[in-house]
Amino acid sequence: MFWNALTLQLGYNATLVTIGATLLGIAAGVTGTFLYLRKRALVSDAISHATLPGVGIAFMLMVLLGGDGRALPGLLLGAAVSSWIGLLCVSWLTRLTRLSEDAAIGAVLSVFFGFGIVLLTVIQTMGAGRAAGLEGFLLGSTAGMLFNDALVIAGGGALTLVAVLILRRPMTLLAFDPEYAAARGINVGRMDLAIMALALAVTVIGLKVVGLILIVAMLIIPPVTARFWTERTDHMVLISGLCGGLAAWIGASLSAVAPAMPTGPIIVLSSFALFVLSLLLAPNRGVLAVYLRHVRFQRRVHMRQGLLALAQGQPIYEAFTVRLLKRAGLAHADGVPTDDGRARAAKALRDEKRWELVRADQAFESAAALYDGLRDIETVLTDDQISEIDQRIGGPQGVAS
């Protein structure tokens, strides 16, 4: 059943929802990446909440003009206009007053949303029943999606992607080095607004599917997930789009199978599941990788200290060190070195002495800069250089037993 949904074999409506949601997820993931890199992820929260008054006003206008108040393009246009005003309010409050951006975001989102609720209650009194569709914008409702709605969503998503493709270079530049971008002749303020406008486009398109409270998640979670897997912006954009699309696809399919599950929350939770997987398992930046790196580092430190102690005939009190040495076959359980251990210990002590000379000698300055107490000297110097240092140290000295 779930497999049928994933492979789009569950009827016309479910297929429509799944495709629309997936396109939306890709567009949101790609756009959100630039928002995240610019460190302004939460501006999307203000944008999404600020759509509500626009939806209300558009509905009222369309009803007053004698049309159908629930026509999606009209509602989305209203949403876009009011969230654009909200966006300008945020940037105006931040620029012209002493308020910080987070206070401006919070103020705009709560006030616009509150005003939107006022308008919704007004609409409810205008005539019962006709406003039924509007509540769906809060949490999204895909059940009654029409072909035209899906077309609007797909078209909007595609347009957003094209815009990102065109603007990706200046936006990347802006995210990493605004001053340099300004020096290159990019209008920073306008490019910032362009990033916001793209986020706004995704928000407005996604209103119908996931609702205005949860659309933020589609802009924030995929980029954060993607950041774990790569250090390159272009890869991050691709991975983020992939994560967003995948989460939306899985989420929409799940909710097609179990109609009691609303689409928006399921998409958000799938997205979160991808995030948790990445947080734990990503190579290099994931929690597991960091932990393993830490364990390896710990072992090397213990090993080195243990070998130096053996070389100088000092007793080892640290149980972990003894265990490590024993496992490597370098010492017995009571901390007495084996022959192998004696040899390794002598080398460790000699390397220590070599490093001492390297670090004291200006000629080896670049090699000395790499000293961190654990690095093998063979990885830094050539055999010739090492034998030159050995000559300075003199002949081999016995290891105390």
Partner 1 sequence: MSGEEFVPLSLTPMLIGVLAAVACALPGNFLVLRRQALIGDAISHVVLPGIVVAFLLTGLVAAAPMMLGAAGAALVSVVMIEAIRRLGNIEPGAAMGLTFTTLFAAGVLLLEQSDTSSVHLDVEHALYGNLESLIWLDAIGWSSLLDPLALAGLPPELGRVVIALIGVIGFLWLFWRPLVVSTFDESFAQAMGIATNRLGVALVMVAALAAVAAFDAVGSIIVIAMFICPPAAARLMTNRLEHQMAWSVVFAVLSAVLGYVFAGYAPLWLGFENAVSAAGMIATVSGLILALAACFAPHRYRSGAPAV
Question: Which C-beta is closer to partner 1: that of 278 or that of 321?
Answer: 278
Q: Does 59 bind partner 1 (CB under 8 A)?
A: no
CA proximity to 244, closest of 4, 30, 13, 14:
30
Q: Does 120 bind partner 1 (CB under 8 A)?
A: yes
At CB < 8 A and 24+ separation, what contacts does 122-127 make?
122/56, 122/60, 123/56, 123/59, 123/60, 126/60, 126/63
Q: To the nearest whole angstrom, how small is the minimum distance from the Cβ of residue 211 to partner 1? A: 9
How far apart, in whole angstroms, are the C-alpha atoms of residue 181 and residue 178? 5
Question: Which C-beta is closer to partner 1: that of 74 or that of 116?
Answer: 116
Question: Which C-beta is closer to partner 1: that of 170 or that of 262?
Answer: 262
Considering only residues 25 to 44 of the shown chain, the ones binding partner 1 according to CB under 8 A are 36, 39-42, 44
Q: Which of 80, 87, 109, 150 binds partner 1 (CB under 8 A)?
A: 109
| Torsion angle defined by CA atoms of residues 32, 224, 145 and 266, in that order, rounded to the nearest 10 degrees | -170
Q: Does 75 bind partner 1 (CB under 8 A)?
A: no
What is the identity of the amino acid at 58? Answer: A
How far apart, in whole angstroms, are the C-alpha atoms of residue 225 and residue 135? 31
Question: Which C-beta is closer to partner 1: that of 227 or that of 344?
Answer: 227
Q: Which of 100, 148, 187, 284 binds partner 1 (CB under 8 A)?
A: 100
Q: Does 115 bind partner 1 (CB under 8 A)?
A: yes
Q: Which of 64, 122, 151, 363 binds partner 1 (CB under 8 A)?
A: 122
Distances in whole angstroms, Cα of residue 250 to Cα of each of 211, 239, 270, 324: 17, 16, 7, 46
Q: What is the Cα 257 distance to its own chain's centre? A: 29
Q: Does 208 bind partner 1 (CB under 8 A)?
A: no
Count of residues making up the chain: 401
332 and 338 Cβ atoms separated by less than 8 Å: yes
How far apart, in whole angstroms, are the C-alpha atoms of residue 67 and residue 124? 17
Q: To the nearest whole angstrom, how small is the minimum distance from the Cβ of residue 278 to partner 1? A: 9
Q: Does 84 bind partner 1 (CB under 8 A)?
A: no
Q: Does 156 bind partner 1 (CB under 8 A)?
A: no
How far apart, in whole angstroms, are the C-alpha atoms of residue 246 and residue 231? 21
Sites of contact with partner 1 (CB under 8 A): 36, 39-42, 44-45, 92-93, 96-100, 102-107, 109-118, 120-122, 124-125, 135, 138-139, 213-214, 216-217, 220-221, 223-224, 227-228, 260-262, 264-266, 268-269, 272, 275, 279, 285, 287
